[in-house]
Amino acid sequence: MKPVNIGICGLGTVGSGVYNILQRNAKQINSRANAAICVTHVGSRRDNPACDIGETRVSRDIFEVAKDPTIDIVVELIGGTSVAFDLVMMSIKHGKHVVTANKALIAENGAEIFAAAEQQGVIVAFEAAVAGGIPIIKALREGLAGNQINWLAGIINGTSNFILTEMASKGRAFPDVLAEAQAKGYAEADPTFDIEGIDAAHKLAILASVAFSIPLNIESIFVQGITQLEQLDIGYARELGYAIKHLGIARQSGEGVELRVHPTLVPAASLIAGVNDVLNAVMVDADALGSSLYYGRGAGSEPTASSVLADIIDISRVLENPPATWVPALGCPLEVLTAQKMIPVADIETCYYLRFSMLDTPGALSNATKIMADAGISIEAIIQKEQPAGIDYVNVILVTNRLPERCLNAAVSEIEDLSTVQGSVTTLRLEHLDQ
Amino acid sequence: MKPVNIGICGLGTVGSGVYNILQRNAKQINSRANAAICVTHVGSRRDNPACDIGETRVSRDIFEVAKDPTIDIVVELIGGTSVAFDLVMMSIKHGKHVVTANKALIAENGAEIFAAAEQQGVIVAFEAAVAGGIPIIKALREGLAGNQINWLAGIINGTSNFILTEMASKGRAFPDVLAEAQAKGYAEADPTFDIEGIDAAHKLAILASVAFSIPLNIESIFVQGITQLEQLDIGYARELGYAIKHLGIARQSGEGVELRVHPTLVPAASLIAGVNDVLNAVMVDADALGSSLYYGRGAGSEPTASSVLADIIDISRVLENPPATWVPALGCPLEVLTAQKMIPVADIETCYYLRFSMLDTPGALSNATKIMADAGISIEAIIQKEQPAGIDYVNVILVTNRLPERCLNAAVSEIEDLSTVQGSVTTLRLEHLDQ
């Protein structure tokens, strides 16, 4: 068996997972890879790597790994987009294949990285960058290669899903659960990337590029996190038969491509509504296959390492083959990627959930619903509960049909202008995930 | 782009799906395959193929396709194990790569077929043979290649799942739903393979071989269909918080491998319990990744064709590469496959659901539960309802802890011998799918 030498840069949570699994499952991994895979160089800025690596060579300067002439594959697990970018580019320049779990790096710098890899004749693989251990890149790029993908919708940030699950199942408030997520290590000390939807946007950009053969495009994504979500709305959603999940949604149609990340009401009976805690799932709608769903752990040491190893095994098997026979990074050759019109968020159609506080007086509801009717908006469901004596304002909850955001916004402004309506209208998007 | 010529044998439901998708998505498929894929020869015993194939050459004798020197890949879609076997072996002998959707053929004759393919230096691909359009073979063989698989459990027969879904959701009886499934074309005129679990056993044999690197072994599978399942038990299961699904289960442990296909109570809140109608899903528990699930259409023209096309694209990309760089048919080289001890069904451990009819008299329940206690069986749940006056017998429903079948059977015999118990004890297996 040919030896394949691995250099791991960053031996933290995921890196030590990769190292440990490679020891534990060595026999099977080597037989599947048709190669003797061995970690021969570790780049780590710490003197105490997170696992016992025996006599393996360690460099404090991670760039030493990229320059090491004996290394075949550099595994980039340091995160971030500055040093990681330099490391990946230098690895490519030195003719190394690269495996990375870095979604921000691929989403933001993928174009440059893949172009350099193509020119240099090396592979850059990134299964672990999206949805952790779920082999979703492989499923889209190879398993569904015969299909046109219509849309995909994914729970692709475990921290947000953990927070929403706790809010829904235990009635807890957002800040309270966030603090727990941080204490448990699910959320970073600075949780912004997770809870503001940026991490999900990085992953969505990658998924959409592979699914639709479009260039990576992080700028065009409409991004909304979960920080504004209120317990009240989770409860009303449940009454209406919906769960609220933070979804990344990509859709392709004759009008162009829409990319968006936001809290979404989904039917409580749908499979994706049952994806709880830190778990991830991606639902894909494709022209030949129809709907399919891929579920599993989206983060953590060994789940993420599982995808890193899949990439290492794939590369080890084929690294001596002509580059034209490799699976292209984004599914098709770079020159085939074609930018499509990106649909502005104002034109994106979805159903909506609205909540507003209304003076409980004759004609008030009728005034609000007339605004909707005049705008051509149908009301699919409505809740208004009888109030105890002495309470003047009631919560009105409406679910609309599918319509562009600009139409919804116009109607919402008019409703907010009604003298019987107090404060602003809370709006959330709602998807049936069946079209 | 290099031309790759496809010969399709059998142009029925799936074959016409393959043909149609190849026309519709030609540009994308060719760019993903790095090849100009073209169906140039069709073998069909009918004069009226199920789709318009223009001027494509048609042979009534399908073996003409296997012998056609211009063909690179033979797609076997005729089904069955006699002519299909001869066709596949002849195709291999003539140096053709083979793609098949034929689970019976792979499960029963895979060893011989893969050995011939290895000797001849061709690929035999069979993603479509298990769970239709779900890329489960690729997920297990490549996506999870770094993992040891602990167990998998799948809803892998759409007809059975449709029947169980209708029975559960509408309270219908088995024969009634079976007749509808046949009328809708979900079930064959002879539905035995579906409802007796044989089709699921074929698929389980393939999944287990890929997951555990063991030889294909259809003989060792314990197989039970859904024909004996009563509406009554679906209702009691629901009361206890379970749904009944027909599962194929494969598990590997220090003691060996267990393979079984049977109706199974699963927690109603589990993701797999939400897989309804003709849909399929496979849940996989792996050492690094933990639990993951793959869901989608397990049958039908285009869903199955989707997997056939994935195989065609994979092969087209790599057919000129050295065979040692191909993904081996069963994940690892044939000589690495290692037979493991197969655990006899009497030794397989699972939880059980029991139902029996008992004279509603003092001490009767105590006698039954004492038998369980003496056998070391814990009762995890029990239902016995108050009966209207005049009814002497009550239904008692028990859920046990995890125990080997032989222990359960001994206790069941004793319970059946009680003078207060009428008739036989209905037993169903129950899995929490969390270990």
- Which of A134, A307, A332 faces B32 most closely, judged by CB atoms? A332
Q: Report chain A residues whose CB lies below 8 A from the CB of B293.
A: 293-296
Q: What number of C-beta contacts closer than 8 Å exist between A and B?
A: 216
- Which of A34, A291, A336 faces B31 most closely, judged by CB atoms? A336
Q: Which residue has the higher pLDDT, B385 or A309?
A: A309
Q: What residue in B sits closest to A140 (Cα-Cα)?
A: B135
Choose from A27, A287, A291, A292 for mutation: most chain B CBs within 10 A: A292
Confidence of residue A435 (pLDDT cuts 50, 70, 90): low
Q: Residue A6: what pLDDT? A: 98
Rounded-to-10 torsion of CA B77, B79, B83, B86:
60
Catalytic residues of B: 203
C-alpha to C-alpha distance for A369 and A183, rounded to whole angstroms? 45
Q: Report chain A residues whose CB lies below 8 A from the CB of B297.
A: 289-292
- Which of A142, A332, A336 faces B310 most closely, judged by CB atoms? A142
For residue B84, give how far its alpha carbon lies from the nearest alpha carbon of chain A (Å): 24
C-alpha to C-alpha distance for B380 and B402, rounded to whole angstroms? 10
- Residue pLDDT, tens place only, A373-415: 999 999 999 999 888 888 889 999 999 999 999 999 999 999 9
- Residue pLDDT, tens place only, B247-283: 999 999 999 999 999 999 999 999 999 999 999 999 9
The two tokens of residue B376 are 């070391």
Instruction: Identify whether the C-beta of residue B97 lies closer than 8 Å to the C-beta of residue B123.
Output: yes
Whether residues B143 and A139 touch (CB distance < 8 A) is answered with yes
Instruction: Identify whether the C-beta of residue A298 lies closer than 8 Å to the C-beta of residue B306.
Output: no
Choose from B18, B27, B31 for mutation: most chain A CBs within 10 A: B31
- Say which amino acid occupies A80: G
Distant-in-sequence, close-in-space partners of A43: CB < 8 Å, separation ≥ 6: A7, A8, A9, A10, A58, A59, A60, A61, A62, A63, A64, A65, A78
Burial zone of B80 (CB within 10 Å; 0-12 exposed, 13-18 middle, 19+ buried): exposed
For residue B88, give how far its alpha carbon lies from the nearest alpha carbon of chain A (Å): 23
Whether residues A139 and B139 touch (CB distance < 8 A) is answered with yes
φ/ψ (deg, to 5) at B294? -130, 120
Cα separations (Å) of B301 from A288, B73, B125? 9, 20, 18
Whether residues B322 and A321 touch (CB distance < 8 A) is answered with yes
| Three-class HEC string of B342-376 | ECCHHHCEEEEEEEEEEECCCCHHHHHHHHHHHCC
Instruction: Identify whether the C-beta of residue B337 lies closer than 8 Å to the C-beta of residue B330.
Output: yes
- Say which amino acid occupies B397: I
C-alpha to C-alpha distance for B201 and B213, rounded to whole angstroms? 17
Domains of chain B (ranges, CATH numbers):
2-133+301-333 (3.40.50.720), 136-297 (3.30.360.10), 346-430 (3.30.70.260)
For residue B114, give how far its alpha carbon lies from the nearest alpha carbon of chain A (Å): 16
C-alpha to C-alpha distance for A91 and A72, rounded to whole angstroms? 10
C-alpha to C-alpha distance for A358 and A424, rounded to whole angstroms? 10
Q: Are strands A149-155 and A222-223 parallel, antiparallel or unpaired?
A: unpaired
Local mean pLDDT, 10-residue blocks, chain B (435 residues):
96 94 97 97 82 90 98 97 97 98 98 98 98 98 98 97 96 93 80 95 98 96 97 96 98 96 97 96 98 96 97 97 97 95 96 96 94 96 87 94 96 97 97 86
Whether residues A325 and B317 touch (CB distance < 8 A) is answered with yes
Whether residues A294 and B291 touch (CB distance < 8 A) is answered with no
Average pLDDT over residues A24-43: 97
Whether residues B288 and A305 touch (CB distance < 8 A) is answered with yes
Instruction: Identify whether the C-beta of residue A75 lies closer than 8 Å to the C-beta of residue A9.
Output: yes
**pTM, rounded to two decimals:** 0.97
CB count within 10 Å of CB B320 equals 12
Whether residues A138 and B134 touch (CB distance < 8 A) is answered with no
Whether residues B289 and A269 touch (CB distance < 8 A) is answered with no
DSSP state, residue A80 = S
What is the average pLDDT score of chain B?
Answer: 95
CB count within 10 Å of CB B12 equals 16
Q: Report chain B residues whose CB lies below 8 A from the CB of A332.
A: 28, 31-32
Instruction: Identify whether the C-beta of residue B221 lies closer than 8 Å to the C-beta of residue B204.
Output: yes
- Which of B34, B297, B308 faces A324 most closely, judged by CB atoms? B34
For residue A322, give how far its alpha carbon lies from the nearest alpha carbon of chain B (Å): 8
Q: What residue in A sits closest to B336 (Cα-Cα)?
A: A31
Cα separations (Å) of B335 from B245, B259, B328, B430? 36, 22, 11, 36
**Annotated catalytic residue, options A103, A138, A203, A245:** A203
Residue A101, classed as helix, strand or coil, is: coil
State which H helix or E strand residue B410 sits in: helix B405-417
* Residue B8: closest CA among B41, B36, B52, B56: B41
**Is the pLDDT reported for residue A85 higher than 90?**
yes
DSSP state, residue B141 = I
- Which of B28, B134, B274 faces A292 most closely, judged by CB atoms? B134
Whether residues A32 and B312 touch (CB distance < 8 A) is answered with no
| DSSP per position, B42-92 | EE-SSSS-SS--TT-EEESSTHHHHH-TT-SEEEE-S-SSSHHHHHHHHHH
DSSP state, residue B320 = T
Whether residues B332 and A28 touch (CB distance < 8 A) is answered with yes
Task: Name the H helices within B38-102.
Answer: 63-67, 83-93
What is the number of helices (H) and of strands (E) in chain A? Answer: 14, 17
**Is the pLDDT reported for residue A321 higher than 80?**
yes
- Which of B25, B325, B333 faces A321 most closely, judged by CB atoms? B325
- Residue pLDDT, tens place only, B32-44: 999 999 999 999 9
